[in-house]
A = this chain, B = another copy of it.
Amino acid sequence: MSGINEDLLKERSKCTFNVEELTHFLDGGKENTLKRKRQEQAIISNKDELLGSIPDEFLSHKEKYESSVKKAVALFTLLRKIDNRDLADLADYKNLLGSVLGTSISQDGSPFGVHYIMFIPVFMSQADDEQKEKWLKRALYCQIIGSYAQTELGHGTFIRGLETTATYDPDTQEFVLHSPTLSSYKWWPGGLGQTANYCIVIAQLYTKGECHGIHPFIVQVRDEETHMPLPGIKVGEVGPKMGLNSVNNGFIGFENVRIPRKHMMMKHAKVLEDGTYIKSKNNKLIYGAMVFVRVVIVFESVTYLAKATIVATRYSAVRKQSQLKAGQPECQIIDYVTQQEKIFTAIAGCYAMKFNSLMLWDTFHVINQQLHQGNFERLGELHALACCLKAISTSDSARFTERCRLACGGHGYMHSSNLPLTYALTSASCTYEGDNTVLLLQTARFLVKIWRQIDTVNITPTISYLKTVSAPGFIYKWENTVEGIIRGFQIVSMKKISSCVDIMTNKVMSGMSQEDAWNTTSIQLVSSGEAHCRAIVLSTFHEGVLKASRTMSPPLAKVMQQLVELYSVYWALEKLGDLLEHTSISKSDVEYLWSWFERSLSNIRPNAVGLVDSFDIDDVFLQSTLGAYDGRVYERLMAEALKSPLNAEPVNQSFHKYLKPFMQAKL
């Protein structure tokens, strides 16, 4: 296999901007690109060891696990060498986890993932100094591998309902961990099945006969020498899943397992030797860690979608099918406008979310510092922002990824395209760390609260538009511009939340309880949470590109502006019902939007391949027969198929065992 597909070469030669310039911009500067590539190069040059010779998908569930441990050890041995010193820094953490490296560590997740993304960050924010002294370095150096056990078989969203108990026994100065029911078994912790030997366990704390709610405890799960589960602990893995099958998600149950008092994580709340409970002075700080995980998820969702768009765009440039005009040769499928709609809007969505992830990170950074200084004024805003951006970025990423997969036709169904797995991973993130519907309802709860005091509240950046567009005297006439669309979305958001508040008020006034009023209005409340987020995402993308354009070369700035236009008009048409209901948009405006949309797609056409090349994801991480840089899709599909152990022998044994006796049976 050599040479680059000719159609891809042509596409690249037509690109109007400098791909490297955009890559540097996406990385936050040339220096970062170089650093990233150095890190990646260490992986790439060891790829044979890291990837293995037979794709995991051919292996049994058990073999997949063993292969994933082998690969994770090889990878983290390498990573240890690269820049171990940085690992305690949150920003580096985020980069590592949300980056291509992070999401490609293992194609289907890693048994070490939760150790890094949950165990260590939670440990850092919950452990007191003595505990950090004892464990943190060991954890960072992987001398112990930890997991994080919160969700139970019967309990997820509602963490107050967790059943696992930790009862303090002052006589021995120990906590007794116990799982009173089957539904109290912890279920899901990544790496817990057969990999981790430690675990942070969330349990209801009882001391002096009183329950003080859930608290974290560090629990040794397995013997450090033999890896045998410790007495009283039932631990195992949960079985096959839609994806994440290399993550080794586990279950764990406790039968009166005793742990030392100092294994309660005591940075905030404490239990003294005699069993006295000391409340946390500052129990809001825990939100910081929760928000951090959601920030990482937003970054990850951008990476997943970037992969999907690379695969679908390159494949659509290479694949030829049907004739645009009778008698002509078959054309590249990227020339079909229906294909452009599916793929180019996904590309635009990926760039939009990239800008939003950076905004979320900056916001998190600023507000997290305020939290640590005891200023909680913007905590609600941060929480609402992280909730809705996590929900929208993951659901958009899943939706666009699946559209990209379907746009690749039958070949998109092949595991070797890496699209099915990419969908499975990004779809998982719609559920974990907060179900998206629940998160949008939390956003709506914040909006309802704000709306009810809109005249007096101290308006912070992400919600200031609500005040603007609801101010007396504010007049809006629909405009067919990006700014006009953004304004339209802001009005939709304001009208929706205002309408929800009115509906609930009316319901309560006619005798319904607050809770029933909330529940019966909740479909519209979810829609309101989404509308708020759409307004933010659009304006963040637009403003981000405006700002970035000042330092970009004109050709690149132009393309970025075209992406903003495509994204805005796409979402205007997607949410046309809302706009028609709540703004002054007219039918002729709608016709204009359609032609603008078609024009926007054709603007992107020459640069589509350049826009995905700019994501600069190496074939080693992309792991796709359809998306490789050289575009030699058919050779790669066949080469992958030939790796199938079934193809290694001309006749499978099942012919002799089952088929032949069946086919030749006397009837």
A contact residues vs B (CB 8 Å cutoff): 55, 57-63, 65-66, 69-70, 73, 76-77, 80, 141-145, 151, 153-158, 161, 182-183, 185, 187-188, 193-195, 222, 226-229, 236-244, 251, 319-326, 330, 335-338, 341, 402, 406, 409-410, 412-416, 420, 423-424, 427-428, 430-432, 435-437, 441, 513, 515-516, 519-520, 522-524, 526, 575-581, 587, 590, 594, 597-598, 634-635, 637-638, 640-647, 650-665, 667
Contact = CB atoms under 8 A, between A and B. Distances in A.
Contact of A519 (B151, B194, B336, B663): B336
Given A158-B322, A324-B515, A413-B242, A646 B61 contact: yes
Contacts of A581: 576, 580, 587, 590
Contacts of A645: 60-62
A155 B411 CA distance: 11
B338 A663 contact: no
Contacts of A663: 142-145
A139 B646 CA distance: 25
A325 B587 CA distance: 45
B431 A410 contact: yes
A440 to B, nearest CB: 9
Contacts of A523: 337-338, 341, 597-598
A597 B183 CA distance: 35
- Interface centre among A222, A580, A660, A664, by most chain B C-beta atoms within 10 angstroms, is A580
A31 to B, nearest CB: 28
A658 B70 contact: yes
Contacts of A640: 239
Contact of A58 (B240, B242, B576, B580): B240
Contact of A576 (B66, B243, B251, B577): B577
Contact of A238 (B69, B524, B641): B641
Contact of A337 (B183, B522, B575, B590): B522
A652 B155 contact: no
A231 to B, nearest CB: 12
| Chain A interface main SS type | helix
A414 B428 CA distance: 11
Nearest to A428: B413
17 contacts: A57-B240, A70-B654, A70-B658, A80-B667, A142-B662, A142-B663, A187-B637, A229-B650, A238-B637, A238-B641, A239-B416, A240-B644, A337-B522, A337-B523, A576-B577, A576-B581, A580-B581
Contacts of A406: 427, 430-431, 435-436
B654 A65 contact: yes
A183 B242 CA distance: 31
A117 B641 CA distance: 25
- Interface centre among A321, A430, A646, by most chain B C-beta atoms within 10 angstroms, is A646
Nearest to A421: B242
Contacts of A320: 154
A80 to B, nearest CB: 7
Contacts of A66: 652-654
A416 B239 CA distance: 8
A662 B239 contact: no
A415 B240 contact: yes
A404 to B, nearest CB: 13
Given A337-B523, A414-B241, A650-B229, A322 B157 contact: yes
Given A435-B409, A646-B193, A662-B142, A520 B576 contact: no
Contacts of A227: 651, 655-656, 659-660
B69 A157 contact: no
Contacts of A243: 413
A270 B145 CA distance: 71
Contacts of A594: 524
A664 B223 CA distance: 13
Given A324-B516, A577-B580, A580-B581, 19 more contacts: A62-B645, A69-B658, A73-B659, A145-B663, A161-B330, A188-B410, A194-B652, A227-B659, A229-B650, A236-B641, A236-B642, A237-B644, A238-B414, A239-B641, A324-B519, A326-B515, A410-B431, A413-B431, A520-B598
B414 A185 contact: no
A249 to B, nearest CB: 9
Contacts of A427: 402, 406
Contacts of A319: 154
Given A59-B60, A144-B663, A228-B651, A153 B598 contact: no
A567 to B, nearest CB: 16
A577 B572 CA distance: 11
Contacts of A322: 157-158, 161
A571 to B, nearest CB: 12
A523 B661 CA distance: 53
A237 B646 contact: yes
Contacts of A577: 575-580
Nearest to A597: B523
